[in-house]
Structure 1
Amino acid sequence: MFSGFVECIYCKSVLTYMLLLLVLRNINMYKYKHTLSTLEKMSTQLSSDLSLDINETLSSTSPLNTKKLDRDNGTAENGEQDGNNRQQWGGQLEFILTCVGYAVGLGNVWRFPYLAYRNGGGAFLLPYIIMLATVGLPLFFMELAFGQFASLGPITVWKINPLFKGLGFCSVCVSWLIALYYNVIIAHVLFYLGASFTKQLPWVHCDHEWSAPNCKPPIYNGNFSANITLIPEGQPCNATHTLVNGSCIFIPSVTPTEDYYYNYVLNQSDFPEIMGGVSWKLTITLFVAWLFVCLVLIKGISSLGKIVYFTAIFPYVMLFILLIRGVTLPGPGPAKGILFYLTPRFEELKNARVWSDAATQIFYSLSACSGGLIAMSSYNKFNNNCYRDSLIVSLINCGTSVFAGLVIFSVLGYMAEEKGVDIESVVKGGPGLAFIVYPEALSKMPVAPLWSVFFFIMMATLGFGSQFSIVECVLSALTDEFSEWLSPRKNNIIFRISFCFLMFLLGLPMVSQGGIHLLNLVDYSVSGFPLLFVALLELIAISYIYGYPRFSEDIKMMLGFKPNVYWMVCWLGVSPLVVGLVIIANCVLLEKPEYAPGLVYPSSHISLGWCIALFPIMWIPGWFLYYYCRHGGYDILRINMMPLAGWGPAEASNRPVGSVHYSNILGADGDSVQIQWNRNYTPGYITSIASGLSKLGSGNELSEGSATESQSNLQKPSCSTKSASENEKDTPM
């Protein structure tokens, strides 16, 4: 009797389950038909409204109020909006100059010449060109085509693969961190520019109240001699002499340029742990820098496209003038400096560090994988020749790096000749080259303040040219991602002003006494691993997951031709391999950062550096897991982690009666009812179906194919009943 009761309960459960499936199926079909009906009504209404708008437009159009349209892309003559309410460049030249200004920055002046000197001189050009051809150029073209095709920012563009949207957040975080410290460097440049408007440059002597006691002007070509007589003159006589052991304490001196930079401009603390107070001088110049950035970008690319005509072209005029001045300086020094810069030392190519530096410099100079190229190209016309633009900008950028090296080393050669020392002793990289070595060389030229003004104007335009694009990358990415709140013009202007002011506040710690240590730490942490990881995963996501055939067809839609075999080989094989090898090399050759020659950052700052480096990277797996779980992945994972049907005690008699944990439900008489449920119809799956259907009422679309698939999936669960005796027959003794 009890067995019959159990069977009755089971049959009722099965009938209830089938009834639930039938109800869900009917609801699904009703929602599907209702959605189709709604879409038909919307289509009819849209056609009617569109016809009415066209008639009103044609009737009200006159020569006085008609806005001239660009025939190529249907945008206004000033290129402000496209058909999708997105700004566009006013012309192709604006885009090219913006990319040139973005790619060509301060690193081309102070980083590349130093790396070339350190890694074999002219021989460094070989790995540099190889890395450009195998990694830099393919990534540059890929990102330009990627952003132009979708006309979306670096975050929203990952509609191509939502699971990899974390790459967009990672690249934008990198740009945000770079913009944070890059404007601090520009603030230093502006301070030097203002200090250059004097009759005598303030860094040529030590007669200042803030000068260090060991500040000594450099002595050029000085010869020193001393005659010491130990035996007194006169007739020799018997005498007793005492020799005294003495010790000499050597206190190294600093030049006026070093004293000016470290003690006056930075007021630098001796240790990274000591942050000290904020410098009011640099606070003012930092505010001016962010104010200028805000004014240029307040209207987006419509204002940026005009300022780049100056910020992208003027640095080349100044570089050419400074090169002419450098090679015409008296003496053989300039020629020796250029020869030292270009002479190859091929034995250095055996060092893995040389190739790693070349790859890192390519990412640094081309500004690839930081989101800016995608953001800038998203404002292009759909049929813009981004293939040509990528070649032009890449070659201009690399040519600028080599050309800037000629300018720098011609002056360094002159400086070394004047000092009577080797060129190696005056070469420095990073900010030391821009704020110590080169200002000292400029101070020795005739009409020194004039050349100093020219040099720092060039540095300011180089810095702002890159900073505009870096900040616009972040602003456009957030505007696209949160378009509902930030797209309205008034809200967007408020957002841009607020963002620049917030960045100014966040930059204040970097203009404190210990701020330069923090700046160098952020620069060291951001410019390495995050960009390399973005490059590798970007190549995988587009070339393999989205697929090279699809991507090449997308490019053909824009340009009219597919990429040739060179791009296919790079995107599918060479570029991912090279980037992977560079990541491994950087891990093997990883060194602790130094805040001064031979002085390593304390462990607390090294930990902070790792946190800064990992902060952008963690967006990649974080978003992947979030999106995966948010869209049913958690249910799939939970189902796949459930025990299989055969799990439980091997003997049926050992399974508890009525247990829901095992597939066998035993009756009192020993008969078993074995239920083999279809795994697609777990309670979690039913809940997910109901949740998906409920979304239809909120306007989500349901395609005919998905409806058919849902109907076909709603099948009767397979279940079978076997008696205990039948099980015994099937089971060998």
Structure 2
Amino acid sequence: MYFLFEFLPIAWAFFYLFSSFSAEVPWASCRNPWNTGNNSNMGNNTNWTVPVNATSPATEFWERRVLSISTGIEQIGRLRWELALCLLLAWILCYFCVWKGVKSTGKVVYFTATFPYLMLIVLLARGLTLPGAIDGIKFYLYPDPARLVDPQVWMDAGAQVLFSFGICQGSLTALGSYNHYNNDCYKDTFVLCLVNGGSSFVAGFAIFSVLGFMSYEQGLPISEVAASGPGLAFIAYPRAVAMMPLPQLWSICFFVMVILLGADTQFVSLECLMTSVTDMFPTVFRRGYRRELLLLCLCSVCFFLGLLLVTEGGLYFLQLFDHYVCSGNNLLLLSVCQSIAIGWIYGVDRLYDNIEDMIGYRPWPVIKYCWLYVTPTVCLGTFIFSLVQYKPLKFNKTYLYPDWAYALGWFLGLACVALVPLWMIWKSLKQLCRPETNKALNQKQQTPEQCPLNPDSILNLEYKGSGVVELEMHT
């Protein structure tokens, strides 16, 4: 389900990228067939008289040209074939970058993970030279203490941490399985936190310097020109780019960066799923081209399901699914389950022993109490607080969904989380129904002192040409 939503912004970015190769970027003026008569296309002039219901050319390009958005979720409308082709291009790109396994994905990521930094530096350098950029940076750095009492702020902050680091999504576990046993994962976590947090912080300067320029050009407060969600990348930033010299160049740089960032995320998600499936059924999918065929089937099914999101009513479904299925609530609940499973059921001391055996030293003792108490308490508290303060989803803060749409969203969201306890119950019942197997395993099971923790002593890891890890047990 997650794949269906996250590929759509890549399709939008492709659409904007192709539209940038024109004599004039199409969202810069109101002389296009999709524009209405209520445009507010003003530059550095505060004496304009603008209608109350005026909209910018960038907004109309987004709503009327790209999305051709309908009046509600009940009006699905026609298929936007241009977006469908862009969506197909996004899936083809990801398929051929993942189809040969982690080796091919790793080589592609060297480019997709580093090139956006070059684009970010270029956009940051350009943004800092624009008039009004300092006002945007001040707005970015100055906190608003009043927002701390808003539960949605804490929910968004928690969800951002979980999403940006890939926590509780299986990607870290799946990709970490390809590391050597003695890889210093403890050091890697600190590097990951510094790089990820630093990248987000620097990206804020690139974005808000441009928003400050927009505020300067239009004579409006920054709070009115700033946007969140898709509006920032596909309305606010293109609108700012249209005011710069050589708008085509900066538009191409920006949307290439968006495409690579989105594709890089999807590489990891697809590889995580493929690794999980092939590890569960190694004798089935590690033969010939079965893995490639499985990936082709997965991408094809997800593409056809994603066509619903490129209809005229697709954005309503996207926001509904994103709010209930890919929300912070689900990830917070999964993080609580994972913390309990690791810290209390498996045992935090046992995990410390495993880490020490792998890296040669024990992690900081405070982390133990974070696993046991801090993480589950904070996540559970935020989850409960968000449920108490729950408000029905509104599209653009005005449109209320019908009751069946809310029911669909809750059902899909609960179905994703329910897989965790249902899988636990199924595995437990399966073991209880096989007492003779349990008895035999208990008789042969060794104690931790008798069995070395280092799996390299019992496993021979061999990389085949397809990039799949083959395991051979030593007897």
Q: Tell me if both proteins adopt one fold, taking TM over 0.5 as the criterion.
A: yes
Whole-angstrom distance in 2 between the partners of 1:193 and 1:390: 35
2:404 partner letter? S
Instruction: Select the residue among 226, 230, 242 that pairs with 1:427.
Output: 226
Q: Which has the larger radius of gyration?
A: 1
TM-score where L is the length of structure 2: 0.89
The secondary structure found in structure 1 opposite 2:380 is: helix
Match of 1:720 in 2: none
Match of 1:588 in 2: 388
> 2:328 aligned with 1:528, yes or no?
yes
1:339 partner letter? K
Whole-angstrom distance in 1 between the partners of 2:48 and 2:207: 31
The secondary structure found in structure 1 opposite 2:91 is: helix
Match of 1:482 in 2: 281
Q: Which moved more, 1:542-551 or 1:202-211?
A: 202-211
Structure 1 residue 387: Cα displacement: 0.8
Structure 1 residue 347: Cα displacement: 4.3
Residues 319 and 395, structure 2, Cα contact 8 Å, conserved in 1: yes
Residues 330 and 417, structure 2, Cα contact 8 Å, conserved in 1: yes
Residues 375 and 476, structure 1, Cα contact 8 Å, conserved in 2: yes
Structure 1 residue 556: Cα displacement: 1.0
Q: Residue by residue, what CA displacement relative to the aligned partner does 1:288-329 show, whole Å, maximum 9, x if unpaired? A: 100010000010111111111111111111111111111101
Match of 1:217 in 2: 41
**CA distance 1:493–1:705, shift in 2 (3 Å):** closer
> 2:93 aligned with 1:292, yes or no?
yes
Match of 1:362 in 2: 161
Q: Residue by residue, what CA displacement relative to the aligned partner does 1:516-552 show, whole Å, maximum 9, x if unpaired? A: 1111111111222221111111111111111111111
Whole-angstrom distance in 1 between the partners of 2:237 and 2:169: 30
Structure 1 residue 701: Cα displacement: 5.3
Task: Please provide the CA RMSD for this pair.
Answer: 2.0
Whole-angstrom distance in 1 between the partners of 2:318 and 2:123: 29
1:570 partner letter? C
The aligned runs of 1:346-361 (5 Å cut-off) are: 346-361=145-160
Whole-angstrom distance in 1 between the partners of 2:440 and 2:412: 41
The aligned runs of 1:229-248 (5 Å cut-off) are: none
Instruction: Select the residue among 349, 352, 358 that pairs with 1:552.
Output: 352
Match of 1:188 in 2: 12
1:449 partner letter? Q
Residues 193 and 456, structure 1, Cα contact 8 Å, conserved in 2: yes
Match of 1:641 in 2: none
2:227 partner letter? K
Q: Which moved more, 1:250-259 or 1:493-502?
A: 250-259
**CA distance 1:413–1:705, shift in 2 (3 Å):** closer
Whole-angstrom distance in 2 between the partners of 1:417 and 1:215: 19
Residues 171 and 268, structure 2, Cα contact 8 Å, conserved in 1: yes
Residues 334 and 414, structure 1, Cα contact 8 Å, conserved in 2: yes
Whole-angstrom distance in 1 between the partners of 2:151 and 2:328: 16
The secondary structure found in structure 2 opposite 1:618 is: helix
The secondary structure found in structure 1 opposite 2:293 is: helix
Structure 1 residue 702: Cα displacement: 5.4
1:268 partner letter? I
Whole-angstrom distance in 2 between the partners of 1:356 and 1:443: 34
> 2:217 aligned with 1:418, yes or no?
yes
1:314 partner letter? F
The aligned runs of 1:17-416 (5 Å cut-off) are: 177-218=1-42, 220-223=44-47, 252-329=53-130, 331=131, 333-416=132-215
Structure 1 residue 704: Cα displacement: 4.0
Q: Which runs of 4+ in 1 moved over 6 A?
A: none
Residues 214 and 251, structure 1, Cα contact 8 Å, conserved in 2: no
2:73 partner letter? P
Residues 155 and 328, structure 2, Cα contact 8 Å, conserved in 1: no
Structure 1 residue 705: Cα displacement: 6.5
Match of 2:473 in 1: none
**CA distance 1:222–1:345, shift in 2 (3 Å):** closer
Residues 257 and 436, structure 1, Cα contact 8 Å, conserved in 2: yes
Structure 1 residue 604: Cα displacement: 1.4
Whole-angstrom distance in 1 between the partners of 2:9 and 2:425: 37
Q: Which moved more, 1:209-218 or 1:466-475?
A: 209-218
Q: Residue by residue, what CA displacement relative to the aligned partner does 1:9-64 show, whole Å, maximum 9, x if unpaired? A: xxxxxxxxxxxxxxxxxxxxxxxxxxxxxxxxxxxxxxxxxxxxxxxxxxxxxxxx
**CA distance 1:704–1:435, shift in 2 (3 Å):** closer
Residues 337 and 413, structure 1, Cα contact 8 Å, conserved in 2: yes
Structure 1 residue 489: Cα displacement: 3.4
Q: Residue by residue, what CA displacement relative to the aligned partner does 1:543-568 show, whole Å, maximum 9, x if unpaired? A: 11111111111111110112221111
The aligned runs of 1:596-615 (5 Å cut-off) are: 596-615=396-415
The secondary structure found in structure 2 opposite 1:489 is: coil
Match of 2:378 in 1: 578
The aligned runs of 1:417-566 (5 Å cut-off) are: 417-525=216-324, 526-566=326-366
Structure 1 residue 352: Cα displacement: 4.3
Whole-angstrom distance in 2 between the partners of 1:539 and 1:219: 53
Residues 42 and 48, structure 2, Cα contact 8 Å, conserved in 1: no
Whole-angstrom distance in 2 between the partners of 1:538 and 1:409: 36
Whole-angstrom distance in 1 between the partners of 2:262 and 2:84: 18
Residues 212 and 263, structure 1, Cα contact 8 Å, conserved in 2: no
Whole-angstrom distance in 2 between the partners of 1:423 and 1:315: 26
Residues 364 and 527, structure 1, Cα contact 8 Å, conserved in 2: no
1:212 partner letter? T
Residues 151 and 386, structure 2, Cα contact 8 Å, conserved in 1: no
1:423 partner letter? I
**CA distance 1:487–1:705, shift in 2 (3 Å):** closer
Q: Residue by residue, what CA displacement relative to the aligned partner does 1:674-704 show, whole Å, maximum 9, x if unpaired? A: xxxxxxxxxxxxxx76xx3xx79xxx95564
State how many pairs are aligned: 443
Match of 1:113 in 2: none
Percent of aligned pairs with the same amino acid: 36
Q: Residue by residue, what CA displacement relative to the aligned partner does 1:240-285 show, whole Å, maximum 9, x if unpaired? A: xxxxxxxxxx761221111111111111111111111111101111
1:310 partner letter? F
Q: Residue by residue, what CA displacement relative to the aligned partner does 1:409-431 show, whole Å, maximum 9, x if unpaired? A: 10001101111111111011010
2:118 partner letter? V
Whole-angstrom distance in 2 between the partners of 1:489 and 1:529: 41
Whole-angstrom distance in 2 between the partners of 1:307 and 1:209: 40
Q: Residue by residue, what CA displacement relative to the aligned partner does 1:687-733 show, whole Å, maximum 9, x if unpaired? A: x76xx3xx79xxx9556469xxxxxxxxxxxxxxxxxxxxxxxxxxx
The secondary structure found in structure 2 opposite 1:580 is: helix
Residues 475 and 496, structure 1, Cα contact 8 Å, conserved in 2: yes
Uncovered stretches (5+) of structure 2, i.e. residues with no partner: 446-475
Whole-angstrom distance in 2 between the partners of 1:528 and 1:703: 41
